[in-house]
A and B are shown apart, each in its own frame.
Chain A
Amino acid sequence: MVQLAGVTKQFGRNTALDGVSLTIGPGEVFGYLGPNGAGKTTTIRLLMGMLRPTSGTASVLGLDAWRQSREVHRVVGYVPGEPALYDRLTGRQHVAYCAHLRHRDDANRAAEVAARLDLDLDRPARTLSRGNRQKLAVVLAVMSRPRLLVLDEPTSGIDPLVQQVFHSILREHTADGGSVLFSSHVLGEVERVADRIGVVRGGKLVAVERLQDLAARSLHRVRARFAGDVAAEDFAGLPGVRDLLVEGRTLSCNAPQSALDALLKLVSAREVEDFECSEAPLEETFLSYYGMDQAGGTALSAAGSAAQHAG
């Protein structure tokens, strides 16, 4: 459905996107994650033909995103990152304008989606709250029943209840064979709908993996308190153990399931006063692997090795 092949985009001397390649299949929801400024919006606007790639190609259903953007737009619904609307037009007028430009009559479908999202289509766009503007952008994107939805942080500003409705709209879309590219800066937003995630940082795609693989590598948070002082080096050699912290008599770390046995044996070789082991939320696992906080060196190298692992 979507194919990016070595897409690079430079703005002057600044490289916003550096050799990004990925594919999204039919019926698939692809979560595109990265901190702000990592290149998510640049990727999406390249795919929408708003930007011309410096090198590489982006295509949708075999159509070139830049040269055949008009044909691409026929089959794509798009929610821009900061949805700008025509201030003086109401929701219904937006629907009418876009439907005319698409030579379709989408009024009924638009009204249906708006009702599900609890959006009043009769108010002028300038009076809408951020969340309602976002909803209108979603209505405009899905009303033409496109094959591909390209969503740039579509749920920021939308409350959780409406997010659930939005997720069910996405599921109906994929059930009919449609695909979704869904960007976000937090995993939590895409966790429940994404099949695969890609992580972009500093303009590079540093990892792509199936969400269920990530879940399988989910980490356990381990804390132990010993009768006497322990040294960090004693535990450092364990494969897979991350975020190791030893302070006096206490140890804390995150460990994948595969490392638990070895870790437990090392721990139990000493006199233990207290022990705690719990599964971490997926978000935490994700942050530990891909450190979205732009902390720099360690997070980057961790993500780099994980990307090789995933690739």
Chain B
Amino acid sequence: MLASVLLKTLRDQGRLLLAWAVSLALIVATYAAVWPSVQSQPSISGFIEQMPEAFRSLFATSSADMSTPTGYIQVELLSFMGPIAVLIYAISAGAGAIGGEEDRHTMDLLLSNPVGRGRVVVDKFLAMVLGTFGLAAVMGVSLVLEGSMVDLVLPPDKVAAAMLHLALLGVVFGSLALALSAATGRTGLSRGVPAVLAVLAYIVNALAPLVDVFDRIQKVSPFFQYIAHDPLRQGVAWDSVLVSTATIAVLVALAVAGFRRRDVAG
């Protein structure tokens, strides 16, 4: 596990990733456990429909029908809890990638080996990608397996599509954190800015139907790429994947360029 910066970074995150995976499986299990009682009470859908429209946009995907497995998971997990969990991990991993190693003063040791700065950034990025996709996979597998035990039946291919989009959402913001970390070395800033932007992007996408300004910029929100096409029903939207991937590529290029031109904190 010490053969490259990538493997070393994953090794460092080992326990953290394990803790995240267990937490996600437990969260999904909680939702699965509640499902039978939700299913037997169709009035919950009525309750959601009675909510003010702004509320419904923010906390539920507007057209979701809570009495179907797909609608339930979409409202309960994909709209809120899932993105929060994946974003927290990805942003922390991205922000800690370069700045974290400088905070612990180990960057001098790492860079005194014949390893290019670009290589370090790319390896740290790949570790964050693998971690994020791994956590999304854990969430997806938990959904399908734990769901099947309580008659919460979800099509595995659609779940996989939703998790792909969820992971890409995480990687977009994680890459932003990485770019800030690489260009400034400041971990707090690299964590805070993407977190705030993620909240804004969420609000823009959620309230777009109600607010004119948001409607016009909705498509730049990574949350639009993630959820607007309803992946749990429609599967993968390749144009959204393309937009996300391009965004990530630009951010990683900026991260490499930013780290190459600045002084390393000793």
The CA of A43 and the CA of B150, in the complex, are separated in Å by 66
The answer to whether A74 and B2 have CB atoms under 8 Å apart is no
Q: Which chain A positions have C-beta within 8 A of B263?
A: 50-52
Binding site of B, secondary structure by majority: helix, strand, loop or mixed? loop
Q: Which chain B positions have C-beta within 8 A of A74?
A: 114
CB contact list, B93-107 vs A, under 8 A: 104-107
The answer to whether A51 and B264 have CB atoms under 8 Å apart is yes
The answer to whether B2 and A45 have CB atoms under 8 Å apart is no
The CA of A69 and the CA of B261, in the complex, are separated in Å by 12
Please name the residue on chain A nearest to B105 by beta carbon. A84
The total of chain B residues at the interface (CB under 8 A) is 24
A71 interface residue, CB < 8 Å from B? Answer: yes
CB contact list, A107-128 vs B, under 8 A: none
B234 interface residue, CB < 8 Å from A? Answer: no
The answer to whether A97 and B2 have CB atoms under 8 Å apart is yes
The answer to whether A71 and B114 have CB atoms under 8 Å apart is yes
Q: Which chain B positions have C-beta within 8 A of A48?
A: 108, 111-112
The CA of A70 and the CA of B109, in the complex, are separated in Å by 13
**Closest CB in chain A relative to B146 CB, distance in Å:** 33
B196 interface residue, CB < 8 Å from A? Answer: no
Q: Which chain A positions have C-beta within 8 A of B5?
A: 101
Q: Which chain B positions have C-beta within 8 A of A5?
A: none
A218 interface residue, CB < 8 Å from B? Answer: no
Q: Which of B12, B105, B111, B264 contacts A82 (CB 8 A)?
A: B105
B40 interface residue, CB < 8 Å from A? Answer: no
Q: Which of B104, B111, B114 contacts A102 (CB 8 A)?
A: B114
Q: Which chain B positions have C-beta within 8 A of A81?
A: 266
Please name the residue on chain B nearest to A11 by beta carbon. B263
- Identify which of B3, B12, B106 gathers the most chain A CB atoms within 10 Å of its CB: B106
The answer to whether A100 and B4 have CB atoms under 8 Å apart is yes
The CA of A88 and the CA of B13, in the complex, are separated in Å by 12
B8 interface residue, CB < 8 Å from A? Answer: yes
**Closest CB in chain A relative to B96 CB, distance in Å:** 14
Please name the residue on chain A nearest to B262 by beta carbon. A52
Q: Which chain B positions have C-beta within 8 A of A80?
A: 105, 108-109, 112, 266
The CA of A78 and the CA of B106, in the complex, are separated in Å by 13
- Identify which of B105, B109, B115, B261 gathers the most chain A CB atoms within 10 Å of its CB: B109
Q: Which chain A positions have C-beta within 8 A of B50?
A: none
A83 interface residue, CB < 8 Å from B? Answer: yes
The answer to whether A97 and B112 have CB atoms under 8 Å apart is no
**Closest CB in chain A relative to B186 CB, distance in Å:** 16
24 A–B contacts from the bound complex (CB under 8 Å): A41-B266, A45-B264, A48-B112, A50-B108, A52-B263, A69-B111, A70-B114, A70-B115, A73-B112, A73-B113, A73-B114, A73-B115, A76-B112, A78-B108, A78-B112, A80-B266, A82-B105, A84-B108, A85-B109, A89-B2, A97-B8, A100-B4, A101-B114, A102-B114
Binding site for B on A (CB under 8 A): 41, 45, 48-52, 69-71, 73-74, 76-78, 80-89, 93, 96-98, 100-102, 137, 140
